[in-house]
Chains A and B, each alone.
Chain A
Amino acid sequence: MKNENYDIVIIGGGPAGIASAYAAKKHFNHVLIIERKDCLGGILEQCIHDGFGISRYNEELSGPEYARKEIAKLDNIDVALNANVYAITKDDELIKLSYYAPDGVHHIVAQKLIIATGCRERSAKEITILGTNPSGVYTAGEAQYYINIMGKLPGKRVVILGSGDIGLIMARRLTLEGAKVIGVYEIKNCPSGLERNIVQCLKDYDIPLHLSTTISSVKGRKKLTSVTTVKVDENMKHIEGSEEEIECDALIISAGLIPVNDMMKKLGLKMSPRTKGPIVDEHYMSSVPNVYCVGNALHVHNLVDDVSYTGERAATFAKDNLKERELIDVTFDEHISYVVPEVFDIKNIPPLVDFALRVKEEMKNITLKIYADEEVIFQRKYVKLLPPEMLLVKAKIKDDMKMKKIHLAIEKEDK
């Protein structure tokens, strides 16, 4: 059995993995990307709408165009396509993994590993809907693939459950392609997609958004024939008597995304209950030394530009051989639902630290402050923050700064 040696291996060839690879190439000789599918680009291949690359390229590109620009930056990097990792371990120093590809089985030994496996959709089965099990029920990503890659319409009269961004984008696509989108139903009392998508995907086409409403059951023997919607109260309990039956031939479920974690589980990374991704420090390093995680595999990002950025950052940090770590928990106040990094290595603090966070509820006229012990190391004012918007801020750290505590706080302006 012959081993192939690499300085750094990246699992996942989406935008996060691609950016990791070209950034890693600046510091390492032998870089390998392992991708399960037959091409690089990840989920971008099926995202044909525009709005990618606004901050990185100052252009509003479609998904495939953005992917093309990023792939063009790969130079002298090994890429294994159609490759399935079936074993992966880490001993004291090295990562060992095996994958099979059309050209056979490969055994790899690497110094460093970046996990960039992206996220997956919560499936229809993970949401409880009563009734029959007819065809015509799709996740938003499946519908996106069906329309944008296969060129087929999933239905003519469509109901969308969940107001995540992909669902909103599919509402517009379906309408433009000639289907009737009857409505988008969201169980929460606020949309989970971005405001700009509510405007340009729903309002532009007069597609109604029903908040505090869900689907209680579906009907249809073989094919879906109708769904029943029901309003919910503050405790998400169905309100009796508010049911409404709606005839439709497709139901599209856009119920959120979660990191793909199979590699993380195999390696025994400590996971975060908040993000459903691994717990990382400010170097994007997981609980297992020299194993990093980026992009949507780390936590779900809104913007592909930010995804690429995390890849570049992690690959740049990977060049440092940190010996000892001393990890403390990053703390935050009750207005914030999560912060990445969740831990902070106070022995090896870099000059610039990224913080990604989301707020729990809508907040207006507030200041985000990041404290290192008692000192404010970052602050910025915001007119409005909403839970669907992920915030990525970068805090400069003074040379030789020592700290025992990192805390994020949202402070309201007194007016």
Chain B
Amino acid sequence: MKITVKGLRASFGDHEVVKGIDLAIPSRQITAIIGPSGCGKSTFLRCLNRMHELVPGASRAGQVLLDDTDVYADDVDPVLVRRWVGMVFQKPNPFPSMSIKDNVVAGLRLTHRYDRKDAPGVIERALRQAALWDEVKDKLNDPGTSLSGGQQQRLCIARALAVNPDVILLDEPCSALDPIATARIEELLLEIRRDYTMVIVTHNMGQAQRVAEHTAFFLQGELVEFDTTAALFGQPRDSRTADYIAGRFG
């Protein structure tokens, strides 16, 4: 297990949105989280790399173990947690002040690990992994924001990969993209899934089934069901799961 979550609760002010979740996320696989809007998927995800606490008024209880380290232990620096657990957001957010290649190495620059000699290799490797290299190799100095939405999102994935994380959290990475761009990202996730542990939040049942080995179904801040993707979609044990995947609510 890469990540073990124990009794996780999270709130905004006194509004509790994650209500005691236990979940074990396997190493070097893709785990999908599905559930209706507002059920706490993003909040859960953001607890895994301590992004949740950046929101004013946010609070949390319970444990998140990365390998065997409690990321919420007193002596753990949240900034370091985020170096191991990267994130890709719903809306592509390349840095507008940076070129394509500077975007890729932005994480290294932000963490003082940038090395001018290594940079070209790092940039090419990350862009190849993100299946973007061929499209941008001749215009690495163009601004990152000059790319299309789908390309921008792959750039953001390259940026996350370049810092060599253990885990990558993806919060609806394709929801702003068209089907072709979506397919390319799914392809790339499948390609790199043996090298990273990935957790992807998605509203797209098809996407969960195409990319994820395991799927978790959340409802109103609780984990209703967690199983292999085949089992969860094939023979859901809980009637609420069955209703949701059949499109009867949410």
Q: Are A and B genuine complex partners?
A: no
